[in-house]
Amino acid sequence: MDSAEWKTWAEGASSGLGAGMAIIPYVLLQHYRKLKLSDQEMLLLIHLISFKQVEQKDFPSLEELQEVMGASSQAIAQCLQKLLKAGLISIDEELDELRNIQYERYNLSGLYEKLGRCLAAEEKNRSSQLSPPKPQESLDQDEGHNLFIVIEKEFGRPLSPMECETISGWMDQDRYPDELIRMALKEAVFAGKVHFRYIDRILLEWSRNRVKTVDDAKAYTQKFRSGGRA
């Protein structure tokens, strides 16, 4: 492709992107096989996400899905039935009180919950490979020691795939110790700001101030509070 052809292609691609972009969780692309999804079912999920994000359509018709997927309406209906049966999607009924109209929408929270569980199990397996064998009583308490599950319980809801990726990034990329992340979570709960952005700010501030252990964090927090700052 010469420079003129490249310029023509780039201009066409740029104008096409102006129509909108859909954000597909990378963890879905990584783990859809573990959820026993076929390529066609995976493509259907991508289009459901895209319709919602780009066109604000929570319940695209079979005809609309057929047009973008190039599959028969029967094949798409079978895929939808399998996703519903597996609990990856559900159909919610909503009522527009202003117009007194009842409508339906696809709910993908089941998919995100299962993907979060995949990440949690993956992290658990990785930790078990790095750690020596535990006694049986420790294994029985393992759920309470899994960082993903601990944070999920504090939030009172399943974690989204993006949130699970954030936790993995703290451990794998930022190299924050498990105990330090738990300490930051406790600080967020103490402050009444239980959200990921606040926890990340705490960890970043500690990193900038060379806080590397729980004892360092306790000393820094005590100094911070005694200084009269919120």
As a whole number of angstroms, the distance between CA 37 and CA 168 comes to 24
> What angle, rounded to 10 degrees, do the helices at 196-208 and 214-226 form?
100
As a whole number of angstroms, the distance between CA 222 and CA 227 comes to 9
DSSP helix/strand/coil, 95: strand
Q: How confident is the model at residue 3 (pLDDT cuts 50, 70, 90)?
A: low
Burial 63-89 (b: 16+ CB within 10 A, else e): eebbeebebeeeebeebbebbeeeebb
Model pLDDT for residues 141-194, shown as the tens digit of each residue = 444 457 788 888 888 887 776 787 788 888 878 888 888 999 999 888 888 888
Tokens of 33: 């096989």
Q: Are 44 and 80 within 8 A, CB to CB?
A: yes
Q: Are 94 and 102 within 8 A, CB to CB?
A: yes
Q: Where are the alpha helices (DSSP H) in the chain?
A: 3-17, 26-31, 39-54, 62-69, 73-85, 109-130, 136-140, 142-145, 147-155, 161-172, 178-191, 196-208, 214-226
Q: Are 106 and 94 within 8 A, CB to CB?
A: no
As a whole number of angstroms, the distance between CA 80 and CA 86 comes to 10
Tokens of 135: 């006694």
DSSP helix/strand/coil, 153: helix
As a whole number of angstroms, the distance between CA 75 and CA 162 comes to 30
What percent of the chain has a predicted confidence (pLDDT) above 70? 80
Model pLDDT for residues 195-213, shown as the tens digit of each residue = 899 999 999 999 888 888 8
As a whole number of angstroms, the distance between CA 15 and CA 9 comes to 10
Model pLDDT for residues 94-129, shown as the tens digit of each residue = 877 777 888 899 998 888 888 888 877 777 777 666
Whole-angstrom CA distances from 192 to 29, 47, 50, 106, 189 are 34, 37, 34, 32, 5
Residue 40 has pLDDT above 90, yes or no: yes
